[in-house]
């Protein structure tokens, strides 16, 4: 981390970072981990989650637009989290908490079934090489986990500037059980989503940005007490735990 990130971490982490128990890898989330989100935020409120929040550009803008929500962000790259802390502080938003950990594991272990109103995954790492596609965030297993964690009227918003990943997302998510494509195709740009530096770089390079929006297809009936039953455990996803700097992406 650079000096200003170190300073942000020292002064702001206590207030906005939620520490969670890990397994062997520091950015993992222990399966027995538990967070009382109402206690962390000091209030009960609808839970919004972002996975891969980077420097927090979208996170902070969206949290400011949604003071009614408790917004939880997961990011594995500590310098980006430190920059996020500075941004939170600059903008004076109080309804954000950040977890320095893998958001896939966080979503599985730290949120009850049917408890997440909004999930945002904006510009997930594209992992271009075919042999790395298995590391991509969007997969059938992750889709099943998201479907189980969303509230019955919950929404998952995605965006990417890589057409092949956008198409791969559609191939996985359009037929995914428990999810429905809210627009039957590409979504209009999510109007609340700010233009981030990352997105601008894609646009400058001539890439088109695709937005996607999925909703929970159906509410679990009371006859299905365990809405989590069909969700694969994450071990299969764990090998995808991102190693900072390993994606070959432009550093934040
Ligand atoms: C391409 S960047 C986009 C950042 C941000 N969403 C934006 O639009 O500016 C992807 C980010 O996701 C983070 N990331 C990748 N996989 C993650 C995971 N499983 N959990 C949390 N963060 C993740 C990376 O460290 C990186 O900061």
Task: Tell me what pLDDT residue 129 has.
Answer: 92
Task: Tell me what pLDDT residue 31 has.
Answer: 97
Distances (CA, A) of 178 to 75, 205, 210: 26, 35, 22
Q: Which atom of ligand 1 is nearest to the CA of 121?
A: 6
Q: Which residues are identified as catalytic?
A: 125
Report whether residue 54 contacts ligand 1, using a CB cutoff of 6 Å. Answer: yes
Q: Which atom of ligand 1 is nearest to the CA of 50?
A: 6
Give the CA-trace dihedral at 168, 172, 102, 19, to 10 degrees: 130
Q: Which protein residue has the closest C-alpha to ligand 1 atom 27?
A: 54
Task: Tell me what pLDDT residue 218 has.
Answer: 76
H or E, element range at 145 = helix 140-149
Residue 248 resides in a domain = no
Read off φ and ψ for residue 231, nearest 5 degrees.
-80, 125
* Beta sheet of 47-51, edge-to-edge order: 96-99, 70-74, 47-51, 116-122, 150-160, 210-216, 179-181
The structure's pTM equals: 0.88
- Asked whether the beta carbons of 125 and 52 are under 8 A apart, the reply is yes
Reported residue count of the chain is: 252
Q: How far is the CA of 175 from the centre of ligand 1 (A)?
A: 25
| Residue of 27, 29, 52 to test ligand 1 pocket, by largest number of atoms within 8 Å of CB | 52
Task: Tell me what pLDDT residue 60 has.
Answer: 98
Residue 251 resides in a domain = no
Report whether residue 198 contacts ligand 1, using a CB cutoff of 6 Å. Answer: yes
Residue 249 resides in a domain = no
Range of the domain at 194: 3-238
Report whether residue 75 contacts ligand 1, using a CB cutoff of 6 Å. Answer: yes
Q: Estimate to the nearest angstrom the gap between the alpha carbon of 123 and the chain centroid.
A: 10
Residue 247 resides in a domain = no
Residue 136 resides in a domain = yes
Question: Helix crossing, 103-110 with 140-149: angle to 10°?
Answer: 40
Per the DSSP assignment, residues forming a β-bridge with 31 are none
Count of the separate structural domains present in the chain: 1
What whole-number distance in Å separates Cα of residue 23 and Cα of residue 121? 24
Would you write out the chain's pLDDT as a tens digit for each of its 252 residues? 999 999 999 999 999 999 999 998 999 999 999 999 999 999 999 999 999 999 999 999 999 999 999 999 999 999 999 999 999 999 999 999 999 999 999 999 999 999 999 999 999 999 999 999 999 999 999 999 999 999 999 999 999 999 999 999 999 999 999 999 999 999 999 999 999 999 999 999 999 999 999 999 975 444 444 444 444 444 444 444 444 433 433 333
The domain that holds 77 is classified in CATH as: 3.40.50.150
């Amino acid at each position: 981390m650079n000096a200003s990130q170190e300073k942000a971490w020292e002064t702001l982490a206590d207030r906005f970072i939620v520490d969670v128990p890990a397994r062997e890898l520091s950015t993992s989330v222990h399966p027995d981990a538990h967070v009382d989100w109402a206690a962390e935020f000091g209030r009960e409120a609808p839970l919004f989650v972002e996975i891969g929040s980077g420097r927090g550009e979208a996170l902070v803008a969206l949290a400011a637009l949604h003071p009614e929500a408790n917004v939880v962000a997961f990011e594995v790259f500590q310098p980006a989290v430190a920059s996020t802390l500075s941004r939170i502080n600059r903008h004076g938003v109080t309804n954000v908490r950040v977890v320095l950990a893998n958001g896939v594991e966080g979503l599985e272990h730290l949120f009850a079934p049917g408890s997440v109103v909004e999930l945002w995954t904006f510009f997930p790492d594209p992992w271009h090489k075919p042999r790395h596609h298995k590391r991509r965030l969007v997969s059938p297993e992750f889709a099943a986990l998201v479907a189980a964690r969303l509230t019955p009227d919950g929404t998952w918003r995605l965006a990417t500037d890589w057409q092949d990943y956008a198409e791969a997302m559609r191939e996985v998510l359009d037929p995914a059980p428990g999810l429905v494509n809210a627009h039957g195709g590409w979504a209009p740009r999510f109007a609340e989503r700010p233009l981030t530096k990352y997105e601008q770089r894609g646009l400058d390079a001539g890439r088109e940005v695709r937005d996607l929006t999925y909703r929970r297809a159906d509410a679990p009936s009371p006859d299905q007490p365990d809405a989590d039953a069909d969700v694969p455990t994450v071990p299969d996803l764990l090998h995808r735990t991102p190693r900072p700097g390993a994606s070959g992406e432009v550093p934040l």
